[in-house]
Amino acid sequence: MNHHDNHYHNDDDDLIINGVPMGRRAFLGMLSGAVAAGTLMSPSWSWAQAGGQATLTVSAPANPSSLDPATGGSGSDHVLLFPMYDTLVNWNPATLSATPGLAQKWSFPDPKTLVLELRPGVTFHDGTPFNAEAVKTNIDRSRTAEFSNIRQDLSSVDQVEVSGEHVVTLHLKNPDSALPLILSDRAGMMVSPKALADNNNRVDRNPVGAGFMRFQKWDDGSEVAMTRYADYNGPNKLAVGAISFKIITDSATRLRSVMSGQAQMAYHLDGRQKQMIERLPTLQGFADPTIYCYQFYMNMARKPLDDVRVRQAINYAVDRETFVRVAMAGAGEPAYMNLPKSHWAYDPETAKLYSHDPDKARALLKEAGHADGIELDLRGYNDQSSVQMQEVLMEQFSKVGIRGRFRTGTIADMSAAYFGQEKAGHMLLSAWTGRPDPSLSYSLLYSGTSYFNAGQVKPPEGFDQALLDSRSSDDQSQRQQALARVQRIVMENALVVPLAFRQSIVATTAQVQGFENNLLGKPKFNNVSLKA
């Protein structure tokens, strides 16, 4: 592991298996899993060929919601989108500060104008040239199309002007210093204008980007495959010939796929698997902090969650320290807002608002007219790790009179039912996977028209102004003060129940070279190679 911590407590009796010390339960789990893995892996799985033509096989946790950056609704999509779509701006893996991407330079000649100078000589996978017209097509589509889930990301853009073959000028409605980093996310992923024209403006299942990998196939719930784009013109090293993402929702099975050599990499592994990875000399482990936050989303349009006292009560009912210890094997940080302690915009005052206080939770429920407690329709995912989290939380809720049961399914199905038209359930136990700029996270989570605000409830007074202020300066201390106001408004009004930030835990075989984690917690594969 890159980073060790000692929170993990394992009371198993150690066994020595083929010279490798291993907990008894872990070993039994491996044995039972070997059978499951055997049935999950199709005969087409094969050992990777080493070198530049090799296929990197990656065990991924979720079927994508869409392969169109403008229409996807799941944060876990990014890992599959990044290789296919180069972004206008990139970020530094350790700090998430902006670095050049398809835009090799940018500047704000005044606070309401952003000029992007594009890298010449770039083509999309279908041969269409990448230029200022392509950027205009993409940004206009993403900010105006009815189906776009990222209109909010680009709400500050008033007009996109083609200022030259490779120069684009964004005229803004208001100053927006967050925009460069916003263009390192979905909004900056460029789709071929020809592909859009040929496919009635939708590329959900037939993506065409300008990244170092081009789309090959998507077998629903099973595999997304990509091959190297030979004409790629960019900074990423073309180190493998193909990437095959095998969709395996269960984290234990993902790890076993790497242990057995059927995949070379598995990501989004659980805290309780860290120690096992450390004990296996054939594996490389990575565990690093991220801004990925487990949380309850709340539909505040539904009773009783329309009452702030009920939402506050739920926040007081959660014992976050215990949640991290029991449900995450200690591999995480309790979350009291949407940013972790290490983040530059963390606000220690806001973090004090919701210490675990069951008495206060009961008192607030009583004050809100629910002396006998409340019954909630809870939604969550059906993988083992999610189910364990649900059990820990139900136990904590039961102590203050919050009752209900979880209905579970896959990430894609449950997220669509909760956020989409159906608006199913009061609360969804899921995660916010984070965005490079914190103002984008707050905007996406709580703005009145945002997809992730399931009830489409108008944010509290002062929120919009504080958010605007957080983008009006590129001075970090001024931004920090404005973001502290944003965070305090969010948590005082209990618009969310943040639970914990997880570590990015990745296991690879020794064959994998050049991988590094990032603070966003969404692995990129641009410099990964396989050694012979």
- Whether 90 and 146 share a structural domain: yes
Q: Which of 213, 229, 247 is the last residue of a domain?
A: 247
Q: What is the pLDDT of residue 24?
A: 40
- Whether 452 and 391 share a structural domain: yes
Q: Is residue 467 part of a domain?
A: yes
Rounded Cα gap, residues 154 and 142, in angstroms = 8
Q: What is the pLDDT of residue 44?
A: 33
Give the 3-state secondary structure of residue 5.
coil
Q: Which domain holds residue 70?
A: 55-247
- Whether 228 and 300 share a structural domain: no
Please determine, for residue 45, whether its predicted confidence score (pLDDT) is greater than 50.
Answer: no
- Whether 314 and 438 share a structural domain: yes
Q: CA dihedral defined by 41, 45, 51, 56, rounded to 10 degrees?
A: -40
Q: Is residue 468 part of a domain?
A: yes
Q: Is residue 268 part of a domain?
A: no
Please determine, for residue 3, whether its predicted confidence score (pLDDT) is greater than 50.
Answer: no
| Alpha helix ranges (H) inside 176-319 | 179-182, 193-198, 251-259, 274-279, 308-317
Rounded Cα gap, residues 231 and 235, in angstroms = 13
Domains in the chain: how many in total? 2
What proportion of the chain, given as a percentage, has pLDDT over 70?
90
Instruction: Output the 3-class SS for 412-448.
Output: HHHHHHHHCCCCCCCEEEEEECCCCCHHHHHHHHHCC
Q: Which of 247, 272, 307 is the last residue of a domain?
A: 247
Q: What is the pLDDT of residue 5?
A: 33
Token pair recorded at residue 238: 């073309």
Q: Is residue 65 part of a domain?
A: yes
Residue 363 makes CB contacts below 8 A (sequence gap 6+) with none
- Whether 156 and 233 share a structural domain: yes
- Whether 295 and 242 share a structural domain: no
Q: What is the pLDDT of residue 52?
A: 67
CATH of the domain at 457: 3.10.105.10
Q: Is residue 361 part of a domain?
A: yes
- Whether 210 and 318 share a structural domain: no
Sign, CA dihedral 145-425-75-45, equals negative
- Whether 124 and 198 share a structural domain: yes
- Whether 373 and 316 share a structural domain: yes
- Under 8 Å between Cβ of 181 and 98: yes
- Whether 230 and 306 share a structural domain: no
Q: Is residue 379 part of a domain?
A: yes
- Whether 321 and 450 share a structural domain: yes
Structure confidence at residue 32 as a pLDDT band (50, 70, 90): very low
Q: Which of 213, 247, 281 is the last residue of a domain?
A: 247
Q: Is residue 435 part of a domain?
A: yes
CATH of the domain at 61: 3.40.190.10
Structure confidence at residue 526 as a pLDDT band (50, 70, 90): confident
pLDDT digits (tens, 9 = 90+) for 440-477: 899 989 999 888 999 999 999 999 999 999 998 878 88
| Alpha helix ranges (H) inside 301-357 | 308-317, 320-327
Q: Is residue 68 part of a domain?
A: yes
- Whether 202 and 296 share a structural domain: no
Question: What residues form DSSP beta bridges with 90?
Answer: 99
Q: What is the pLDDT of residue 527?
A: 87
